[in-house]
Amino acid sequence: MRGMSDTPATAHLGKSSVLPASPEEAALDYVPNPRKGTLYLVRFAAPEFTSLCPVTGQPDFAHLVIDYAPGETIVESKSLKLFLGSFRNHCGFHEDVTVGIGQRLEKEMEPRWLRIGGYWYPRGGIPIDVFWQTGAPPEGLWVPDQGVAGYRGRG
C-alpha cells in the first residue's frame, strides 16, 4: 500500500480547498492509475448537481452519473467534487453543461472510455436527460445500467 509520501502532488488532496468560482477556474487533479493495464469501470454519482439557467438565472438540478474506464490516470475525487460544485454559479443549458463536463474529463484524463448521463429535474414541466460518451465501450468492460429512472412525476 502506498503512503501519503508516495502520492503525486495535487492541488486539493489533503489540503484545505475553496469552491472555485467557475468551472473554468476549477483545477482537476489526475493521479496515476493504480491498476494500469486492467480494464475496469469507475462510477461517480452526483445526485444533487446544480447549475443556473442561462435565460432566467434560476437553479437547475440534476443527477449526474459519470462512468469511465481509466487509461494512464484517474481523476482525483475531491477535485472532481469541487469542479462539479463550481457549476452552482455557472449559466448553461443542460446539454452544454452535461456534454461539457464529459468532454473536459475526456480531454484532460484521456480515459479508455467515458460516458456521462445528466438526469435533469423538470422546471417548466419537461424533464431533459442528456447522454454523451466517447464511443463504444471496450470489449469486456462491464458497464452496468446507470440506475437512474426516467422522471415519472407524481403518478
Q: What is the CATH number of domain 24-133?
A: 3.30.1130.10
Ordered by start, the domain boundaries in the chain are 24-133
Q: Which tens digit of pLDDT belongs to each residue from 111-147?
A: 999 999 999 999 878 889 999 999 999 999 999 999 9
Q: Which of 6, 60, 67, 129 is catalytic?
A: 60
The model's pTM: 0.90
Long-range pairs for 116-119: beta carbons < 8 A, 24 or more residues apart = 116/64, 116/65, 116/66, 116/67, 117/64, 117/65, 117/146, 117/148, 118/49, 118/62, 118/63, 118/64, 118/94, 119/62, 119/63, 119/64, 119/65, 119/148, 119/150, 119/151
Q: Which of 53, 91, 96, 129 is catalytic?
A: 53
**Euclidean distance between CA atoms 30 and 33, whole angstroms:** 9
Report the phi/psi class of residue 137: left, alpha or beta, with left for phi > 0 and alpha for psi in -120 to 50.
Answer: beta
Q: Which tens digit of pLDDT belongs to each residue from 47-98?
A: 999 999 999 999 999 999 999 999 999 999 999 999 999 999 999 999 999 9
Annotation says 60 is catalytic = yes
